[in-house]
């Protein structure tokens, strides 16, 4: 009797143990490291669960946490921005403050630069240097102070210098041999020379200059949190035109331009009664460009446009769980969707 009972109990244990072994099969399936779309997943701020995921537009397969899967350690950060340049992805993160340099071909970590940043936000590459905007630190009245721009030497991945700034810097954009910094805390763009790393001049635009892109003519378009879209001519360093009463987000603007440099896409803030965030496009080749609404969604948070002209819009699902990405054609018709990491905020196409 005793032996039978023990036998039954042992069998029960063995069955449960076998099931426990089977549960650890990865959910990622096969990682697709060569997929044409990289999704930048910001993650929750305190959780620092930002990640990179991929989407293969041919097979419609998504792979999650590819950086962590390849390297065996996580990004462990909130990813604010990422760009690809010269075969490397430069991911700017805060919480933890760092720049992660990643080989874009296989997602192998090339370097983690941890020193020389304080709430970094955006990065631009010119030659062997990377310029990173830093918000600085919050004071007792919750205002940013001691903001600066870090200069990162890409030959040894060390921050070699910094430029102190008086206004809150947001986006940085490489324009020829110069880099433009949008001072979101004021109404100016600051221009710096990358050879000397010195300030050249300021251009007065509208209040709250934020996201910048370069069009086919080499002009800089600046989306301002005040609801203005400003075109700046880099050759004359003057404002060419301002489109007013734009429905911008009002904070942390999201704007991209297609590969031809002819059509801008940006996100707006939601408005009553449904508070859905709208996606607008602007044909910047026309004489009188005007925003045209394409689509809308409640928690739209990131935007991208593929080389084929397909529009990728990221839904952060209000930071609850993972996000979702919707793909639209150029007329704003939804053609596909897939899930991503937590809080997707942008895309890299390759």
Q: Tell me which residues touch other proteins (CB under 8 A).
A: 1-3, 5-6, 9-10, 12-13, 16-17, 19-21, 23-24, 27, 46-49, 51, 64-65, 71-74, 76-77, 95-98, 109, 112, 114, 118, 269-270, 273-275, 277, 298-299, 318, 320-322, 324, 339, 341-342
- Element spanning 348, H or E: strand 344-349
State in angstroms the smallest separation of the CB of 321 from other proteins.
4
Nearest distance in Å: CB 47, other proteins: 7
Least distance in angstroms from the C-beta of 82 to other proteins:
17
Query: Which ranges of the chain does DSSP label H, i.e. alpha helix?
Result: 2-22, 66-71
Q: Would you state the structure tokens that stand for residue 229, as one six-digit string? A: 């879209």
Q: How far is the CB of 244 from other proteins (least distance, A)?
A: 23
What is the smallest separation between the CB atom of 141 and other proteins, expressed in angstroms? 12
What is the closest distance, in whole angstroms, from the C-beta atom of residue 188 to other proteins in the complex?
A: 27
Select 63 or 206, whichever has its Cβ closest to other proteins.
63
Nearer to other proteins, 81 or 188 (CB): 81
Q: Which of 130, 120, 28 is nearest to 78 (CA)?
A: 120
- Least separation in angstroms between residue 208's CB and other proteins is 17
For the beta carbon of residue 146, count every other beta carbon within 10 angstroms. Answer: 12
Locate 189 and state its tokens: 């763009």
Please, which residue, 30 or 286, has the CB nearer to other proteins? 30
Q: How far is the CB of 30 from other proteins (least distance, A)?
A: 15
Whether the CB-CB separation of 323 and 300 falls below 8 Å is answered with no
Using the minimum distance from each CB to other proteins, give the nearer residue, 15 or 260: 15
For 33, 228, 232, 298, 349, the CA distances from 92, given in Å and listed in that order, are 20, 26, 26, 26, 17
Closest CA to 55 of 313, 319, 318: 313
On whether the CB atoms of residues 29 and 59 are closer than 8 A, the answer is: no
Quick one: 270 or 289, whose CB is closer to other proteins? 270
Distance in angstroms (rounded) separating the CA atoms of residues 305 and 279 = 12
| Residue among 55, 134, 51 nearest 98 (CA) | 134
Calculate Rg over the CA atoms of the chain. 23
In the complex with other proteins, the residue whose CB is nearer, 289 or 341, is 341
- Minimum CB distance to other proteins smaller for 214 or for 339: 339
* Closer of 112 and 183 to other proteins (Cβ): 112
In this structure, what token pair is assigned to residue 80?
């604010």
Give the angle subtended at the CA of 244 by the CAs of 239 and 248, to the nearest 5°.
Answer: 105
Tell whether omega for the bond before 86 is within 30 degrees of 0, i.e. cis: no
């Amino acid at each position: 009797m005793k032996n039978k009972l023990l036998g039954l109990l042992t069998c029960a244990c063995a069955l449960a143990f076998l099931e426990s072994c089977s549960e650890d099969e990865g959910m990622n399936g096969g990682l697709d490291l060569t997929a044409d779309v990289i999704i930048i997943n910001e993650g929750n701020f305190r959780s620092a669960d930002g990640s990179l995921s991929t989407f293969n537009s041919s097979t419609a397969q998504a792979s999650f946490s590819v950086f962590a899967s390849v390297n065996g350690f996580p990004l462990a950060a909130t990813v604010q921005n990422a760009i690809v340049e010269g075969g490397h992805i430069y991911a700017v993160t805060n919480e933890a403050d760092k720049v992660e340099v990643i080989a874009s071909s296989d997602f192998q970590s090339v370097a983690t630069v941890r020193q020389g940043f304080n709430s970094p936000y955006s990065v631009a590459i010119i030659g062997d240097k990377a310029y990173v905007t830093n918000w600085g630190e919050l004071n007792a009245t919750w205002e940013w102070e001691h903001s600066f721009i870090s200069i990162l030497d890409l030959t040894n991945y060390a921050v070699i210098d910094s430029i102190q700034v008086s206004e809150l810097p947001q986006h940085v954009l490489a324009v020829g041999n110069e880099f433009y910094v949008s001072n979101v805390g004021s109404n100016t763009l600051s221009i710096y020379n990358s050879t000397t790393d010195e300030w050249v001049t300021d251009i007065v635009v509208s209040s709250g200059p934020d996201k910048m892109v370069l069009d086919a003519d080499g002009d800089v378009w600046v989306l301002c949190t005040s609801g203005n879209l400003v075109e700046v001519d880099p050759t004359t360093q003057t404002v060419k035109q301002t489109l007013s009463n734009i429905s911008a987000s009002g904070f942390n603007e999201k704007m991209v331009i297609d590969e031809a440099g002819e059509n801008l896409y940006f996100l707006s803030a939601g408005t009553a009664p449904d508070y859905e965030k709208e996606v607008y496009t602007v044909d910047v080749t026309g004489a009188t460009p005007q925003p045209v609404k394409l689509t809308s969604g409640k928690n739209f948070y990131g935007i991208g446009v593929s080389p084929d002209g397909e529009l990728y819009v990221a839904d952060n699902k209000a930071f609850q769980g993972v996000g979702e990405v919707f793909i639209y054609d150029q007329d704003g018709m939804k053609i596909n969707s897939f899930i991503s990491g937590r809080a997707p905020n942008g895309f890299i196409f390759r």
